[in-house]
């Protein structure tokens, strides 16, 4: 009976270690995005992501984000824009210390823009999807084995007069 109890404890401990050693993680955070001319937009949004650690230096991430969700009204004119994105990126990492990493990302982001303009009770709608290349640079601070925080700047390259820069603060959890 005692041997069975010890074997069960070892097996449960091994299963717990295997679960703790998984290479998946998730992130969630807030971001501030700014689009340059001719749009001159800025807005707060969010980011949710999942990642897979390939090795100690590389990960792959899939993120969903809200860049702009803005409405403005002035003198009988109402403008609204809603921009969401789905991003796939390779993330490289360089250790700066035992708990701090410099990371860099390169990838593509599919942005969906939904806009409307209402003037004199007449509304024009637009729905557009674009694929943008992106680069990012950030710092990751590990709080313990599971939890980490990130601060990052991401640049979406110009396509059809739209480019954007985003500053992100996020919290992550390793499964």
Contact 130, 115 (CB under 8 A): no
Six-digit token string for 62: 């899939």
Question: Taking the mean position of all CA atoms in its chain, how far away is CA 14?
Answer: 33
Range of the domain at 155: 23-174
Single pTM value for the model: 0.80
Query: For 122-140, how does the pLDDT look when each residue is reduced to its tens digit (9 = 90+)?
Result: 899 989 898 999 999 999 9
* Residue 121 covered by a domain: yes
Q: What is the CATH number of the domain that holds 129?
A: 2.40.160.20
* Residue 60 covered by a domain: yes
* Residue 9 covered by a domain: no
Least trusted range by pLDDT, from 11-20, 70-79, 109-118:
11-20
* Residue 16 covered by a domain: no
Phi-psi region of 8 (alpha: psi -120 to 50; beta: other; left: phi over 0): alpha
* Residue 136 covered by a domain: yes
Query: For 69-80, how does the pLDDT look when each residue is reduced to its tens digit (9 = 90+)?
Result: 988 888 878 888
* Residue 10 covered by a domain: no
* Residue 125 covered by a domain: yes
pLDDT of residue 138: 98
Q: How many domains does one find in the chain?
A: 1
* Residue 81 covered by a domain: yes
């Amino acid at each position: 009976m005692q041997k069975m109890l010890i074997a069960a404890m070892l097996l449960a401990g091994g299963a717990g270690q295997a679960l703790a050693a998984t290479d998946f993680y998730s992130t969630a955070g807030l971001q501030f995005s700014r689009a340059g001319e001719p749009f001159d937009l800025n807005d707060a949004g969010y980011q949710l992501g999942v990642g897979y650690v390939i090795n100690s230096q590389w990960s792959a991430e899939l993120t969903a984000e809200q860049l702009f969700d803005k409405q403005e009204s002035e003198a009988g004119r109402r403008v609204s824009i809603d921009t969401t994105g789905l991003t796939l990126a390779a993330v490289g990492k360089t250790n700066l210390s035992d708990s701090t990493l410099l990371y860099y990302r390169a990838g593509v982001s599919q942005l969906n823009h939904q806009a409307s303009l209402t003037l004199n009770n007449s509304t024009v709608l637009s729905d557009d999807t674009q694929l943008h290349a992106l680069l990012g640079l950030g710092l990751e601070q590990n709080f313990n084995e599971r939890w980490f925080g990130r601060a990052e700047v991401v640049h979406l390259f110009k396509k059809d007069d739209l480019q954007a820069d985003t500053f992100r603060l996020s919290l992550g959890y390793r499964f």
